[in-house]
Amino acid sequence: MKKVVLAYSGGLDTSFCIPYLTLEKDCEVHCFSVNTGGFSDEELEAMESRAMQLGAASFEAVNIEEAFYEKCIKYLIYGNVLRNDTYPLSVSAERVFQAVEVAKYAKEMKADAIAHGSTGAGNDQVRFDLIFSSITPECEIITPIRDNGFARAYEIEYLNKVGLEWSAAKGTYSINQGLWGTSIGGKETLNSRHAIPSEAYPSQLKETDQTSISIGFEEGTLVSLNGEKLAPIQVIKKLNDLAADYAIGRDIHVGDTIIGIKGRVAFEAAAPMIIIKAHQLLEKHTLSKWQSYWKKQLSEWYGMFVHEGQYLEPVMRNIETFLEDTQDKVNGEVFIKLFPHRFELEGIDSPNDLMDVPFGKYGEEQGAWTADDAKGFIKILGNASKIYYHKNKEDQL
């Protein structure tokens, strides 16, 4: 009998896998559920009882919000990561960490195989398999839905047959919720022309009066909300509760997937959007020009590889080290105003603010240099172009 760890989400596909693997494939199915912030305790209990009812050998759930923050979100904040200048990687990042936890659990369980519910059409299969093949190369990977192309109707019928009722009704949108945002796919996102309707977003506008908030950072890390010291995850959750009532952080991500096709998905990510923009503003005041430049290069790559599931490429650890190394001056408070559907960055207060020096105020007369210094600077800064246009006169505009 094959010992299988099943990455269990509680949805139709992975629920179907339990009896299917047990009954048809003679497997001992150990359900493992990795919570990155999307599941409540009630949901987890329901998942467990459903899993056991379906014949699972065991059910285990683990909450990895903290590890997810420490090993990933932290760096996404350091790097101000928005894929294609838009998407905070709300779902893709979580998949990778779920996969890492599943692999660790499979190792611990000395499992023969890991099963997951991905189809052969999307990106999640890549995220899962890439992690498993590096961390648990000794485990077989089993993907019943991908391998057999089972249709939704077939899975429901099968579940009914083994005694679990599953409603045939399907929502218009498929929704994935986690600590770093919620993705919403379906209908309009399958084509290019239309946005999803306002009602399709999980959080609806409840608050119309503007409010002022502040977020505190120490060495680039979230430390407080409105002056109250909080653990980073608490900042994210409290801020999200606050800002979701303003229906902030909605947008649509369009981008290239690792499998070479274009993807389009709506998302709602109130806290991530505010935090990233706040952090970036603080950096504008505290980092040097070339720190910002190179951070951006490396963060762009980091975000791409997390998104694509290439989290284990060794350069990712080096980039994390780089990003962390840039953050020691990113200290201070960022002030933000929330409005319905939007927010404004007001300003910052930082002990490392490079604008706040006794010399060199922008646009003001000052004593740090003379007119002659400025003229000398510009003269020599212009040398290279002057030589070029002297030599290549025909290039003049």
Contacting a copy of itself within 86-125 (CB under 8 A): 100, 104, 119-122, 125
Site membership for a copy of itself, residue 23 (CB under 8 A): no
Nearer to a copy of itself, 1 or 151 (CB): 151
How many residues of this chain interact with a copy of itself, rule: CB under 8 A? Answer: 125
Site membership for a copy of itself, residue 393 (CB under 8 A): no
Name which of residues 341 to 370 contact a copy of itself (CB under 8 A): 341-342, 344-350, 352-357, 359-366, 368-370
Q: How far apart are CA 214 and CA 224, in angstroms?
A: 8
Site membership for a copy of itself, residue 300 (CB under 8 A): yes
Q: Which residue has the tokens 């904040």?
A: 77
Site membership for a copy of itself, residue 383 (CB under 8 A): yes
Minimum gap (Å) between residue 223 Cβ and a copy of itself: 19
Q: Are 298 and 319 in contact (CB under 8 A)?
A: yes
Site membership for a copy of itself, residue 261 (CB under 8 A): yes
Minimum gap (Å) between residue 29 Cβ and a copy of itself: 21
Name which of residues 209 to 248 contact a copy of itself (CB under 8 A): none
Which of 188, 213, 215, 338 touches a copy of itself by CB under 8 A? Answer: 188
Minimum gap (Å) between residue 118 Cβ and a copy of itself: 9
Minimum gap (Å) between residue 107 Cβ and a copy of itself: 9
Which of 91, 280, 306, 330 touches a copy of itself by CB under 8 A? Answer: 280
Site membership for a copy of itself, residue 207 (CB under 8 A): no
Site membership for a copy of itself, residue 254 (CB under 8 A): yes
Which of 57, 153, 319, 338 touches a copy of itself by CB under 8 A? Answer: 319
Site membership for a copy of itself, residue 160 (CB under 8 A): no
Stretch binding a copy of itself (CB under 8 A), from 3-11, 38-46, 126-134, 219-227: 126-134
Minimum gap (Å) between residue 57 Cβ and a copy of itself: 26
